[in-house]
Amino acid sequence: MSKNKNNHAIWNTRIKKKTSGIFLKVGSSIVVDKKLYREDIRGSIAHVEMLFRQKIISFQIKNKIIYGLKKIEKEISKNKFEFDTKYEDIHMNIEKRLFKIIGDEAGYMHTARSRNDQVITDFKIWIKSATKEINSNLIKIIKTTLKIAEKNIETVMPGLTHLKNAQPVSLGHYLMAYVEMFLRDKKRFTNNMESLNENPLGVSALTGTSFNIDRNYTTKKLGFKRPTNNSIDTVSDRDFVLDYLYCCSVCSMHISRIAEELIIWCSDGFGLIKLSDKVVTGSSIMPQKKNPDLMEYLRGKTGSVYGNLFSMLTILKGLPLSYFKDLQDDKEIVFKTHETLINNIKILDEILNNMTPNKKKMLDLANTGFITATDLADYLVKNHAMSFRNAYQKTAAIVNYAEKNKKKLHDLNLEELKKIEPKLTQNVLKVFDLKYSINSKKSYGGTSFDNIKKMILKYKKQL
Ligand code: ARG
């Protein structure tokens, strides 16, 4: 290829007219996919090494190409590379530059390959490392949550259902619920590695290739586990993108739930936690305000993350096999989602490190709403040979009595209790103690202090 021709699109022999301006603008993905330059160069190097081993290209050509690619990698990493929208994407920008650096021999690089398999190879490599980045951030947030849980094993708070007082729990136990969620997230992301580890390179445009390539070699070189099995499926498949976006959505949902929880807890009505000034913002008109904006940000961003999953699902819906331009949007969707999720995990970590539980408020709130009623019912079953349903009715009658007399359960004396259930003795009064209640929940996974201690220890060892 002579020098002056190098400014043209690769297909200029076939397509004579200049692409219309608007299509050049929207059809080009270079501003987005330049992020894949490292993966692209790595993939190309593995590809030409394989071509040489299979005697498809010569030793000299292979070396020249690798030399050029390495030079390009340096140029890009040092911001000395001029990306051109005319060449559409990262793959053609690199190929064009390779021609400039090493000349016509650059033309051997794209033997037995298409951008269709090239782009998914790059993308899978990228999502694999993105997954690792998310998982290490998840480990961080799990450790933070464990640390705060450990400090709050004996912090008593009301456990709520329907946002109404239900039964007393330990704040430590509550936080450990989020540890479970984040551990599941980590596992969910890890499970995706199975399909991310299938190497697309070598399926070419959609049919495979007539060249005697070795897909197992590139598989090994690029850190995949096995080559994909069907060339048409491979270029059409974006399930791995959906899996990744789904995992991000679920993880975001967990973050949004804890964010919402904390918004409620720090509201003036609840006042269960205090946030440090580092993580609140003020109002332009109301001088007294300290607002939990960051938590609201987390809750809001979860909407964008779900939206990204739905964009991708919709792009794929009804799309025939195999490659179509529709698929090009996958990268922008994933890159945006990744950035959002990483930020959200980091923000949540910052918030958790900057909140203080208001233990007195938690205890006071736990002491309202007859929160130990279930403990009383359980006591009647265990000590006075009643069925649970009978005990439930007796307890309801006691709650009614207390409510009518404007008393809490623990304000009732034995005489009052005996009016409703004559068999009761002094021994019953202990069940109205919140810590007694919490510690009686010794069943596996329950909120007793011992259980929480064991769980925290188990996870600390595991991480
Ligand atoms: N930039 C394209 C994308 O991301 C690469 C694949 C292009 N293939 C094609 N046949 N136009 O989807």
CATH number at residue 327: 1.20.200.10
Helix (H) or strand (E) holding 75: helix 59-77
> For residue 38, is pLDDT > 90?
yes
Say if residue 191 is in the same domain as residue 267: yes
C-beta of residue 47 within 8 angstroms of C-beta of residue 113: yes
Both 307 and 160 in one domain: the answer is yes
Residues 255 and 380 in one domain: no
Distance, CA 304 to ligand 1 centroid (Å)? 25
Whose alpha carbon is nearest atom 12 of ligand 1? 328
Looking at the structure, tell me whether residues 181 and 309 fall in a common domain: yes
462, part of any domain: no
How many structural domains is the chain composed of? 3
Lowest mean pLDDT among 75-79, 88-92, 93-97, 289-293: 289-293
Least trusted range by pLDDT, from 3-12, 116-125, 242-251, 351-360: 3-12
The residues annotated as belonging to the active site are: 162, 283
Q: Are residues 393 and 295 in the same domain?
A: no
Same domain, 141 and 93: no
Confirm whether 89 is domain-assigned: yes
* 60 within domain boundaries: yes
On the question of pLDDT at 6 being above 70, the answer is no
The reported pLDDT for the residue numbered 5 is 54
CATH number for the domain spanning 85: value is 1.10.275.10
Q: How far apart are CA 88 and CA 119, in angstroms?
A: 13
Domain presence at residue 67: yes
Has residue 12 been placed in a domain?
no
Quote the CA–CA distance of 460 and 216 in Å, as a whole number. 39
At 207 the pLDDT is: 97
In a domain, 414, yes or no: yes
Residues 104, 152 within the same domain: no
Of 256, 461, 229, 453, the closest CA to residue 340 belongs to 256
Which domain range does residue 95 map to? 21-111
Single residue among 76, 91, 111 that ends a domain in this structure: 111
Task: Give the distance (Å) from ligand 1 centre to CA of residue 130.
Answer: 21
Q: Which of 33, 326, 328 to mutate to test the pocket of ligand 1 (most atoms within 8 A of CB)?
A: 328
The residue out of 341, 364, 387 marking a domain boundary is 364
Confidence of residue 10 (pLDDT cuts 50, 70, 90): confident
Q: Indicate yes or no: pTM above 0.85.
A: yes
161 CA distance to ligand 1 middle (Å): 50
Task: List the beta strands (DSSP E) in 197-280.
Answer: 198-199, 226-227, 273-275
Quick one: 391 and 358 in the same domain? no
Question: Where residue 378 sits, what CATH number does that domain have?
Answer: 1.10.40.30
Same domain assignment for residues 40 and 187: no
Is the minimum distance from the CB of 28 to ligand 1 under 6 angstroms?
no
Same domain for 128 and 262, yes or no, is yes
Q: Is residue 45 one of the residues assigned to a domain?
A: yes
Residue 178 has pLDDT above 60, yes or no: yes
Q: Which residues contact 317 (CB under 8 A, 6 or more apart)?
A: none
Q: What is the pLDDT of residues 429-445, one digit of tens each?
A: 999 999 999 999 999 99
Q: Is 111 helix (H, G, I), strand (E, B) or coil?
A: coil
Whether 323 is in the pocket of ligand 1, judged by its Cβ within 6 Å, is: yes
105: pLDDT strictly greater than 50:
yes
Q: What percent of the chain has pLDDT over 70?
A: 98
Specify the ligand 1 atom closest to the Cα of 89: 1
Q: What is the arithmetic mean of pLDDT over 53-78?
A: 98
Q: Are residues 100 and 198 in the same domain?
A: no
Whether residues 380 and 358 share a domain: the answer is: no
Q: Is residue 456 part of a domain?
A: no
Final residue of a domain: which of 68, 91, 111? 111
Q: Is the CB of 119 under 6 A from ligand 1?
A: yes
Q: Which atom of ligand 1 is nearest to the CA of 330?
A: 4
